[in-house]
Homo-oligomer: A and B are copies of this chain.
Amino acid sequence: MSRDIESLRSKLRLFAEERDWDKFHSPKNLAAALSVEAAELLEHFQWLTESESATLPKETHFEVSDELADVLLYLIRLADKLDIDLVQAAEQKLLKNAEKYPVEKSKGKSTKYTDL
C-alpha cells in the first residue's frame, strides 16, 4: 500500500467518522458519487477541442485539478470500504493490459480497445 494513499485513506476515515457519514458510504453510494465526480471533470472538457483541452486557462486548470482530487478521494474511500489495495490492483491491471494489447498489434490503432 502506497504511503501517501494510506495517509489519505486514514484522513478520509476520520473525516467520515467525525461527521457520522459512514452510514452513507456504502460501496454502491460511493461508486455513484465517484461516477458523478468523473462527469463533473468531463464537463470542463465537453465543448473544448482536443487541442484546447491540452492548454487550459489557469482558472480552469485549477478547477480541473480539484475535480481530479475528488475522483481520487472517492476512489480511495471506495477501495477502503472494499478492502482493495489500489496500487497493487493497478500494477496487476497494467500487466494484463500489456498482454491484451501487444505492441505490434496495437500500434497506432484506437479501434477495438477501450482500456489504457
Contact = CB atoms under 8 A, between A and B. Distances in A.
Interface of A: 2-5, 8, 11-12, 15-16, 18-21, 23-24, 26-29, 31-54, 56, 61, 64-66, 68-79, 81-82, 84, 86-87, 89-94, 96-98, 101, 103, 106-108, 110-111, 113-116
Given A26-B50, A32-B45, A39-B40, A70 B93 contact: yes
Describe A's contact surface by its main secondary structure: helix
Nearest to A46: B32
Given A39-B35, A90-B8, A93-B70, A50 B53 contact: no
Copies of this chain, whole number = 4
A72 B89 contact: yes
Nearest to A22: B108
A87 B89 CA distance: 18
A70 B18 contact: no
A75 B81 contact: no
Nearest to A34: B38
B114 A93 contact: no
